[in-house]
Amino acid sequence: MNALLKLSGGIDAINRTIGRIFAWILLPMICLTAFEVFSRYVLKSPTVWAWELIIQIWGLMLMACGGYCYWKGGLVRVDLLYNKFPVKVRCGINIATAILVLICMGLVFIYGINIFLLSFRLNERISSVWGSPMWTIRFWVPLGAALMFIQAISELIKNVAAMAGKIELTNNSNEVAEAIEIVKSAEHLPDETGKEDIQ
């Protein structure tokens, strides 16, 4: 189980890093948007590429950060009811959700990668003045699906471990992920009282 928890921690680290990278990308995105608005409405000289690039990066951010959102526990859930359930019921809900995400994201990845490969072979381009490649945008769909898929594997591992009593389930997925960091560096996971949850 410890090996699986370490794998889960590694997956969490991937999506956490991607989320943090895109958090910093927001700043140049805001600057680029302000530049284009200034160029269009003040200088009366809009660029042919800025809005298209902005939309593409926003699309990439939306797809790439799905796994990060899942790790943070930020997806839609009725917490008012969920938090009242016993731990094992919550684990069961999370496991069922993870399995559903695995199925859905697996299908999205398969169809998305086929559409991307076709677009790449045809060198498909956006019908605009700039005419940027369409296949780059199409690639983001299987990329986002893959990141959500591996995060669902991580959530499945964590909740099976929590149901087995190996780790403590908290309300936020990232708190479980932080606990797993301890497992990566030691064989024992102490709780807040100093007692050991993993023998």
> What is the mean pLDDT of the segment spanning 130-158?
94
**Assessment of whether the complete model's pTM goes beyond 0.75:** yes
Q: Is the pLDDT of residue 159 over 90?
A: yes
> What is the mean pLDDT of the segment spanning 68-82?
81
What token pair was written down for 23?
A: 């958090």
> What pLDDT band is residue 183 in, cutting at 50, 70 and 90?
low
Distance from C-alpha of 47 to C-alpha of 18, rounded to nearest angstrom? 29
Q: Is the pLDDT of residue 194 over 50?
A: no
Give the list of residues 6+ apart from residue 19 with CB closer than 8 angstroms, or none.
65, 68, 69, 71, 72
The confidence score (pLDDT) of residue 97 equals 93
Tell me 75's DSSP state. S
Domain boundaries along the sequence of the chain: 2-185
Distance from C-alpha of 150 to C-alpha of 105, rounded to nearest angstrom? 9
> What is the mean pLDDT of the segment spanning 27-43?
92
The confidence score (pLDDT) of residue 195 equals 44
Per-residue 3-state assignment (H helix, E strand, C coil) for 90-116: HHHHHHHHHHHHHHHHHHHHHHHHHHH
pLDDT above 90 covers a percentage of the chain that reads: 57
Placement of tokens 């684990």 in the chain: 91
